[in-house]
Amino acid sequence: MIVAIDGPAGVGKSTIAKKIAKKCNFFYINSGNFYRAVAFKHLAYNGDPKSEAEIVETARSCNFLIIEGKLFLDGKMVEHLLRNKEIDMASSKFSSIVEVRNIVNEALRSSAKSLDIIMEGRDITTVVFPQADLKFYFDASVDIRAARRFQQNESDLSLQDLKEEIIKRDYNDRNKKFGALKRANDAVYIDTSYLTIDEVCDKVVQNILGLKQSKVSGES
Ligand code: DC
């Protein structure tokens, strides 16, 4: 079974997808980490952040592997190196390059082969797995997303700076030529603004159980 979740930055996709993966015994894939890994490698090798050709070359050279839910890049576990302001902005920019998206999408699809997976990102329900068994679109206001990021305390930015960064990333994510963030018609829409993590998880799990149930009764 493929469960796909999309939504803007800071809406709680990864926290919730991880929890559901544990609960339902699914394989969790955070697609944003693939774009972050491309940005990390490009910046680490002092690649030109303005040269699309060089960025595509970097993306092509990346060897992605997921072991126990963690992303390995070229054989090294890199997840702890992927979250800082430079990578936030570079991954947002690089992910608008169509060829980079094609390379990442291919890697995402091959990581998911023949598994029960839950994958989250921006274009999972629309481009990567339009045929997913279940699709969700998570949403929340900019103020709430900025406040959540601020409380996570992972960045030294002020609340106002975090808010401005989220607005910029939303703009980039929604205005990509290919793979832009949008709500699929058949995705279940969940506004997470005033829900706890457990409340959102329950809604998703109810849908998964409902689908499993209907598959079982359809088979019998
Ligand atoms: O989910 P995240 O913030 O870790 O993602 C990092 C960047 O990658 C983000 O700016 C949007 C981009 N991204 C994308 O374009 N498509 C995806 N499926 C996932 C992430």
Quote the ligand 1 centre to 63 CA distance (angstroms). 18
Q: What is the CATH number of the domain that holds 11?
A: 3.40.50.300
If DSSP codes are grouped into helix, strand and coil, which group holds residue 66? Answer: strand
Average confidence (pLDDT) over 9-36: 94
User: Closest ligand 1 atom to the C-alpha of 9?
Assistant: 3
Edge-to-edge strand ranges of the sheet holding 117-121: 27-30, 117-121, 2-6, 134-139, 188-191
Q: Which atom of ligand 1 is nearest to the CA of 36?
A: 6
Q: Point out which residues pair with 6 in neighbouring strands.
A: 121, 137
Q: Is the CB of 149 within 6 Å of ligand 1?
A: no
* Residue 112, pLDDT score: 86
Full-model pTM: 0.90
Of 114, 141, 156, which residue is a domain's last? 114
42 and 124 housed in the same domain: no
Nearest partner of 94 among 8, 166, 34, judged by Cα: 34
Average pLDDT taken over every residue of the chain: 94
State if residue 19 touches ligand 1 by the CB under 6 angstroms criterion.
no
CA of 91 to the centre of ligand 1 (A): 7
Distance CA(218)–CA(212), nearest Å, equals: 10
Instruction: Give the integer Cα–Cα distance in Å for 4 and 168.
Output: 24
Per-residue pLDDT of 163-210, as tens digits, reads 999 999 999 999 999 999 999 999 999 999 999 999 999 999 999 999
Q: Which of 97, 114, 131 is the last residue of a domain?
A: 114
Per-residue pLDDT of 56-114, as tens digits, reads 999 999 999 988 778 999 999 999 999 999 999 999 999 999 999 999 999 999 988 86
Q: What is the pLDDT of residue 219?
A: 62
Place of tokens 């009764």: 217
Residue 105 pLDDT? 97
Ligand 1 proximity of 35 Cβ (cutoff 6 Å): yes
Q: What is the sign, positive or negative, of the torsion defined by CA atoms of 118, 99, 34, 66?
A: positive
Provide the pLDDT for residue 96.
Answer: 96
Last residue of a domain, one of 72, 91, 114: 114
State pLDDT tens for residues 119-136: 999 999 999 999 999 999
3-state helix, strand, coil in the chain (%, to 5): 55, 15, 30
pLDDT number for residue 220: 54
Q: Give pLDDT, residue 218.
A: 74
Measured distance CA(214)–CA(220) in Å, rounded: 10
Query: Do 42 and 103 fall within a single domain?
Result: yes
Domain carrying residue 167: 1-26+116-208
77 and 19: one domain?
no
Domain count, the chain: 2
Residue from 214, 179, 24, 15 nearest 115 by CA? 24
Contacts (Cβ under 8 Å, ≥6 apart) of 91: 32, 35, 36, 38, 39
